[in-house]
Amino acid sequence: MSDFPGKTALYGALAVLGSASTAMSEDVPVRVVLFGDSYISSYGVDSAKKYEVQLQAALDAAGRSAQIVGTGYTSTAYQGTRALTGFLEDDNVLGGTVPKAVILELGSNDCFRYTLAQTTDNLDTILKELSDRNIPTLVAGTLPYATCERKDRPNYTALYVQMFADLAAKHGDLYYRDFKDGVGDNPDLLQTDHDHPTADGEAVIVARMLPVVVELIERANPH
């Protein structure tokens, strides 16, 4: 087919429109809600260096349009099932029409109060509700405290770790094995309680989780 007058200009205009459309899609901020315990709410860390602040900065630097929303401290998976109802009705959290996604990090405090079956059921309840509402979720696992492994519940550690992978697979969610990966076994990145990350530890967590968080955002706002 021979060229027609203005063909190059037309193709150029279409390319610009396509780029503009893509940019508009990418510019819709995805509300990424952090839902979990003292790890993800950065217990003991200065407010300017908390996980949510450093994650927001990392996403901004990567050119990803996202709004990180912290929901504070939720102790156990059972309490998470109670809190979720309010979050779903709050337009500034999980309500409204903007694209939404959740990073769920719960369970490490459960072994002192609940059986593993109860923890599994409570996390399953949360993930089912999010799935039913088409809210993409990243299941961030943790490693259990050493004191959780007792004679009356052998193999707790292995079963606990596997629980997160199984639940993520069941609901089609993204999965990250250990929220404190790269930090939990480094005393220099932990506070004096030898458990919670320091500000530098939070930076390591953000850097390691960033690729999967970007994938979560793309699920919430595909383009």
Interval 25-61: pLDDT, tens: 456 799 999 999 999 999 999 999 999 999 999 999 9
Is there a domain that residue 173 lies in?
yes
Interval 97-118: pLDDT, tens: 999 999 999 999 999 899 999 9
Is there a domain that residue 37 lies in?
yes
Model confidence at 23: pLDDT above 50: no
Is there a domain that residue 15 lies in?
no
Is there a domain that residue 23 lies in?
no
Is there a domain that residue 14 lies in?
no
Size of the chain in residues:
223
Is there a domain that residue 161 lies in?
yes
Structure tokens that stand for 127 in this block = 């993930």
Q: Given this model, what pLDDT does residue 27 score? A: 67
- What is the domain extent for residue 138? 29-220
Is there a domain that residue 170 lies in?
yes
Interval 118-157: pLDDT, tens: 999 999 999 999 999 999 999 999 999 999 988 788 899 9
Which residue has 């602040």 as its token pair?
53
Give the domain CATH number at 193: 3.40.50.1110
Q: Domain count of the chain?
A: 1
Contact (CB, 8 A) for 111 and 144? yes
Q: Is the pTM of this model over 0.75?
A: yes
Is there a domain that residue 11 lies in?
no
Give dist(CA 34, CA 99) in Å, integer. 15
